[in-house]
Chain A
Amino acid sequence: MSKPACSRLLLALAALGLVMAGGLFEAARAQGQCPCDSMSGAGKASITTSGGKASFGFTGGVKQGSFWGDLTYKDYDLGLTVEGTAVTGYAATSPNTRIISGSARTNLYGDRTYRITATDGRTTFQIDLDNGYSRQGPLLSGKITLHDGNRKSTPPPGYTCGIPPDATPPTATIVSPGPGSTVSGSTMVSANASDDVGLAGVQFELDGAPLGAEDTAAPYSVPWNTATAANGSHTLTAVARDTSNNTGASSPVAVTVSNAPPDTTPPTVTITSPSSGSVVSSVITVAASASDNVGVTGVQFKLDGAPLGGEDTAAPYSASWDTRTASNGSHTLTAVARDAAGNTGASSPVAVTVLNVLTGPDVFVALTNGQVQWRNSDGLLLRVLVGTSAGQASSLNFDSARNLYVPHWYNTVGGLPGNTIERFDANGNLILGTFGSGYNCDPSSVTFDPAGNAYVGQADCTGDILKFGPGGDPSASFDVPVTQRGTDHIDLAADGCTMFYASRDKNIYRYNVCTHTVLPNFNLQPLPGTSAFHVRILPDRGVLVADYEVITRLDAAGNVVQTYDVPSEAGHFWGGVDFVGDGTFWASNGYTSHVFRFNIVTGAVVSSFIASTDLTAAGVAVRR
């Protein structure tokens, strides 16, 4: 549809409903303008609030210098019928709305004049008779269509084609927030709007300034962050714009903005437990009290600056700390409280000392002066066992009666014997004397078979493995292949036949002492360290090796599966190793004489002690 609408005068008259068809077109004729197009429609409409219906069909327009069209109408409620007999007028009240007037014959009111008001595409229909009969309502079915004119759509004499522009502004009403509302935070401002032709959009305004962009589609609304406005009274307005750019503003809606000032105050927090200077062990609860001017959202505890568990979001604020996951020694606890605005406040640090006493069997340390340290499972020195030999105590082992065997290398200190093995009873008394004989060079390690026979590895000279009966009588000698340092360290497998031994190179050798047979090396790949010292077979048939630069663990198939080290340790001379049986093992550093207890799975150091500051810790053994 491209034709413009009829005059404003007609619009006003029609809107007021004061003038019926004849009068309307008298006015139109006086105006001298008329839309040169046509409108048709048909349908069934609901014309009363009680559900009364009417059927209609109509046409109107101009054609070859005349008004043109027809009408047929039936009101089922009243039984009224209206038959148009002539169209006498055709006018516009908007670009899309037409008024068709004419004369008609009715069955109830005789001959009347009528007026049809309809809008292109709209689903309402209105009919008025000059006797006061007036009905309008929504279409239940059917359609109303405005048609462009054609070359023969010429107006009646005295008229020209032309339609005044749409001058009717749209209307708008703010529906939310309501007048006098108090608003805060983010809220939606919404409005209803309508126009006789069509709406283009609604622009909301706050105190006369645009609030967001124009909303071009119903339902009309705009989000409003009230925090952007000062607290106090403000005025909201919705300005509707129609497709002809007419605008209509809603009644202003006064609202009160009431937002709390921004929270910039950080919360405070204090660790209430443990107290500073506490010595803690096992699992403890770290607790804190926190407060904030608005509210505490959560408290995050930290251990040495790292989060300790997750944030506790509800008072009383606490976290569980398994101190065994930290090394023994000094640590710092802090708590950081957070509020909803994101402010944070940290507590004063609380220094505590972790001191966990690990349970487990005692550990023995072999020193190069021939002495042996007897320590509890926490590394606390219990006794120093002093024998008669000053030859280096290279390693240690226990027989089934828990007696301690200490092999000594050649004596390097004058006056005291070497090249021997001394025995201490389970109480650490040197009452059993020496064990075995015939050591030609530096007995270095002892192991036992299930029958109580003892095997001794020798680091130097022949490097043969010697076998002794339980009483120490020599029974066999095994001339096994060696490389760097004989059979420095040996360990017998649970089968009582397979002897594992190291010769201070990158292999773990095996020899069957039952069949006197050389077996393939245990390790499938060269060991990562440069010099294998002590070897200990694990319960899972894997092997721990004090492998000089690192401690190496191999699985039962001989694959290297893990290495252990303490990066801060000097020298990295790992020479002694023995497992505890609880998932940990002890290892000694021959360079620093520091002894560490490792978690065999995680590699973490769980405990340590310093065996000596002037002697070398040559080996360790655990009396399981």
Chain B
Amino acid sequence: MTKASDARSGLVALAALALLASAPGASAQTPTTSGRATAMQATVTGPLGPTTTALGSTGGLVDDGDARTAALLTGSIPSVGGANVLHAATISSIEGWNPGEDVTSEASLADLVLTVAGNAISASFAMAQARAPVGAAATGSCSLQELAVNGVPIATSGAESQTVSIPGLRLVINEVQRTASGITVNGLHVTTLDGAVDVVVASATAAIGQ
């Protein structure tokens, strides 16, 4: 199923992703909300150039009154892999820009199976969450269960941006990218060293800014 009430879900090919979306007509002085969640996304560079494919993506929040969700029972990206029970949501809870109101995003999937540069990568469950509250610093979290590479279990430390390097490949677990206005948490980020394949699993972004 590729459906959601107003999410651009399902198999969507995007030439480029705009990470943040601003409310139409917002002035420079008006606070803006940004949110996006994607269960899985892969960019594969072929002879014709890079192609990006996202599964279970909410797209960006339109404004501070927006909420978006996406769900897929199963999904796959050719030559990369797939997963089941893909889920993504990004929700603004802003009403009066009061402290504690926030933007939250979450992305998850189960039964992840990837093959990247000849390496088998699997996880039983992955989830990333991002929260940007009014008047406080953004926070994030990540859960990655039963991660294995070529059948070898990889222990997750819980630390931000835990990196695992294997020949020709780099894995970043709980990858955290902070900006002045928010945070992006990627549950798992897999890249080949030649840059030909870039896979992000469970990505959640939340931000509040001017």
Interface residues of A (CB under 8 A from B): 37-38, 40, 42-44, 55-59, 61, 63, 66, 68-74, 81, 83-85, 87, 105, 140-143, 145, 147-153
Q: Is B95 an interface residue (CB 8 A)?
A: yes
Shortest distance in angstroms between B38's beta carbon and chain A's nearest beta carbon? Answer: 13
Q: Are B67 and A150 interface neighbours, CB within 8 A?
A: yes
Query: Given that A55-B125, A148-B93 are known contacts, is A83 also in contact with B108, CB under 8 Å in the complex?
Result: no
Q: How far is the CA of A63 from the CA of B70 in the complex (A)?
A: 15
Shortest distance in angstroms between A146's beta carbon and chain B's nearest beta carbon? Answer: 10
Contact sample, A vs B, 7 pairs, CB 8 Å cutoff: A70-B70, A72-B87, A74-B110, A83-B3, A84-B71, A141-B143, A149-B95
Number of interface residues of B (CB under 8 A): 38
Instruction: Kindly identify which residue among B67, B73, B89, B127 contacts A141, using a CB–CB cutoff of 8 Å.
Output: B127
Q: Are B71 and A72 interface neighbours, CB within 8 A?
A: yes
Q: Is B104 an interface residue (CB 8 A)?
A: yes
Q: Are B110 and A85 interface neighbours, CB within 8 A?
A: no
Q: Is B72 an interface residue (CB 8 A)?
A: yes
Q: Is B124 an interface residue (CB 8 A)?
A: yes
Q: Which residues of A contact B161 (CB under 8 A)?
A: none
Q: B101 — nearest CB in chain A belongs to which residue? A: A148
Query: Given that A57-B85, A147-B91, A150-B92 are known contacts, is A142 also in contact with B73, CB under 8 Å in the complex?
Result: no
Shortest distance in angstroms between A141's beta carbon and chain B's nearest beta carbon? Answer: 5
Q: Are B85 and A68 interface neighbours, CB within 8 A?
A: no
- Smallest CB-CB A-B distances: 7 pairs: A57-B87, A152-B65, A55-B110, A42-B108, A148-B93, A83-B1, A59-B69
Q: How far is the CA of A147 from the CA of B72 in the complex (A)?
A: 22
Q: How far is the CA of A363 from the CA of B9 in the complex (A)?
A: 121
Q: Which residues of B contact A40 (CB under 8 A)?
A: 69, 89, 91, 104, 106
Q: A70 — nearest CB in chain B belongs to which residue? A: B71
Q: How far is the CA of A69 from the CA of B7 in the complex (A)?
A: 10
Interface residues of B (CB under 8 A from A): 1, 3-5, 7, 64-67, 69-74, 84-89, 91-95, 101, 104, 106, 108, 110-111, 124-125, 127, 129, 143, 145
Shortest distance in angstroms between B33's beta carbon and chain A's nearest beta carbon? Answer: 9
Q: How far is the CA of A58 from the CA of B106 in the complex (A)?
A: 11
Q: How far is the CA of A38 from the CA of B89 in the complex (A)?
A: 11
Q: Are A44 and B72 interface neighbours, CB within 8 A?
A: no
Instruction: Kindly identify which residue among B85, B86, B110, B127 contacts A143, using a CB–CB cutoff of 8 Å.
Output: B127
Shortest distance in angstroms between B39's beta carbon and chain A's nearest beta carbon? Answer: 8
Shortest distance in angstroms between A85's beta carbon and chain B's nearest beta carbon? Answer: 7
Q: How far is the CA of A225 from the CA of B177 in the complex (A)?
A: 58
Q: Are B87 and A152 interface neighbours, CB within 8 A?
A: no
Instruction: Kindly identify which residue among A37, A44, A59, A84 contacts B124, using a CB–CB cutoff of 8 Å.
Output: A44
Q: Which residues of B contact A37 (CB under 8 A)?
A: 93
Q: Are A143 and B1 interface neighbours, CB within 8 A?
A: no
Instruction: Kindly identify which residue among A43, A63, A69, A151 contacts B108, using a CB–CB cutoff of 8 Å.
Output: A43
Q: Which residues of A contact B65 (CB under 8 A)?
A: 150-153
Q: Are B85 and A63 interface neighbours, CB within 8 A?
A: no
Q: How far is the CA of A500 from the CA of B176 in the complex (A)?
A: 98
Q: How far is the CA of A505 from the CA of B125 in the complex (A)?
A: 106
Q: Are A42 and B127 interface neighbours, CB within 8 A?
A: yes
Q: Are B5 and A57 interface neighbours, CB within 8 A?
A: no
Q: A83 — nearest CB in chain B belongs to which residue? A: B1
Q: Which residues of A contact B95 (CB under 8 A)?
A: 148-151
Known: A40-B69, A61-B67. 8 other contacts (CB 8 A): A38-B67, A43-B125, A68-B69, A70-B3, A74-B110, A84-B71, A150-B93, A153-B67
Q: Which residues of B contact A145 (CB under 8 A)?
A: 104, 106, 129
Shortest distance in angstroms between A622's beta carbon and chain B's nearest beta carbon? Answer: 89
Shortest distance in angstroms between A152's beta carbon and chain B's nearest beta carbon? Answer: 3
Which residue, of A58, A68, A105, A147, has the highest number of chain B Cβ atoms within 10 A? A147
Q: Which residues of A contact B72 (CB under 8 A)?
A: 72
Shortest distance in angstroms between A536's beta carbon and chain B's nearest beta carbon? Answer: 87
Q: Which residues of B contact A72 (CB under 8 A)?
A: 1, 71-73, 85-87
Q: Which residues of B contact A43 (CB under 8 A)?
A: 108, 125, 127
Query: Given that A57-B87, A72-B71 are known contacts, is A42 also in contact with B5, CB under 8 Å in the complex?
Result: no
Q: Which residues of B contact A68 (CB under 8 A)?
A: 5, 67, 69
Q: Are A69 and B5 interface neighbours, CB within 8 A?
A: yes
Q: Are A70 and B85 interface neighbours, CB within 8 A?
A: no
Q: Which residues of A contact B92 (CB under 8 A)?
A: 150
Q: Are A44 and B104 interface neighbours, CB within 8 A?
A: no
Q: Which residues of A contact B71 (CB under 8 A)?
A: 57-59, 70-72, 83-84
Q: Are A142 and B5 interface neighbours, CB within 8 A?
A: no
Shortest distance in angstroms between B70's beta carbon and chain A's nearest beta carbon? Answer: 7
Q: How far is the CA of A151 from the CA of B23 in the complex (A)?
A: 14
Q: How far is the CA of A84 from the CA of B95 in the complex (A)?
A: 29
Q: Are B67 and A63 interface neighbours, CB within 8 A?
A: yes
Instruction: Kindly identify which residue among A69, A83, A153 contacts B69, using a CB–CB cutoff of 8 Å.
Output: A69
Q: Are A44 and B125 interface neighbours, CB within 8 A?
A: yes
Q: How far is the CA of A145 from the CA of B91 in the complex (A)?
A: 11
Q: How far is the CA of A572 from the CA of B92 in the complex (A)?
A: 103
Q: How far is the CA of A148 from the CA of B102 in the complex (A)?
A: 9
Q: Are B91 and A38 interface neighbours, CB within 8 A?
A: yes
Q: Which residues of A contact B85 (CB under 8 A)?
A: 42, 55-57, 72-74
Q: Which residues of A contact B4 (CB under 8 A)?
A: 70
Query: Given that A42-B108, A55-B85 are known contacts, is A141 also in contact with B125, CB under 8 Å in the complex?
Result: yes
Q: B37 — nearest CB in chain A belongs to which residue? A: A40
Q: How far is the CA of A43 from the CA of B101 in the complex (A)?
A: 24
Q: Are B91 and A42 interface neighbours, CB within 8 A?
A: no
Instruction: Kindly identify which residue among A61, A73, A150 contacts B64, using a CB–CB cutoff of 8 Å.
Output: A150
Q: How far is the CA of A623 from the CA of B33 in the complex (A)?
A: 114
Q: How far is the CA of A83 from the CA of B86 in the complex (A)?
A: 11
Q: How far is the CA of A70 from the CA of B58 in the complex (A)?
A: 12
Q: Which residues of A contact B88 (CB under 8 A)?
A: 57
Shortest distance in angstroms between B58's beta carbon and chain A's nearest beta carbon? Answer: 10
Instruction: Kindly identify which residue among A42, A141, A153 contacts B145, using a CB–CB cutoff of 8 Å.
Output: A141
Instruction: Kindly identify which residue among B70, B93, B127 contacts A142, using a CB–CB cutoff of 8 Å.
Output: B127
Q: Which residues of A contact B145 (CB under 8 A)?
A: 44, 140-141
Which residue, of B5, B7, B88, has the highest number of chain A Cβ atoms within 10 A? B5
Q: Are B5 and A152 interface neighbours, CB within 8 A?
A: no
Q: Which residues of A contact B74 (CB under 8 A)?
A: 81
Q: How far is the CA of A294 from the CA of B73 in the complex (A)?
A: 78
Instruction: Kindly identify which residue among A81, A150, A151 contacts B73, using a CB–CB cutoff of 8 Å.
Output: A81
Q: How far is the CA of A572 from the CA of B84 in the complex (A)?
A: 111
Q: How far is the CA of A71 from the CA of B91 in the complex (A)?
A: 16
Q: B90 — nearest CB in chain A belongs to which residue? A: A40
Shortest distance in angstroms between B43's beta carbon and chain A's nearest beta carbon? Answer: 23
Which residue, of A85, A140, A142, has the highest number of chain B Cβ atoms within 10 A? A142
Q: How far is the CA of A211 from the CA of B106 in the complex (A)?
A: 47
Which residue, of B70, B86, B91, B111, has the highest number of chain A Cβ atoms within 10 A? B91
Q: Are B73 and A74 interface neighbours, CB within 8 A?
A: yes
Q: Are B125 and A87 interface neighbours, CB within 8 A?
A: no
Shortest distance in angstroms between A78's beta carbon and chain B's nearest beta carbon? Answer: 14
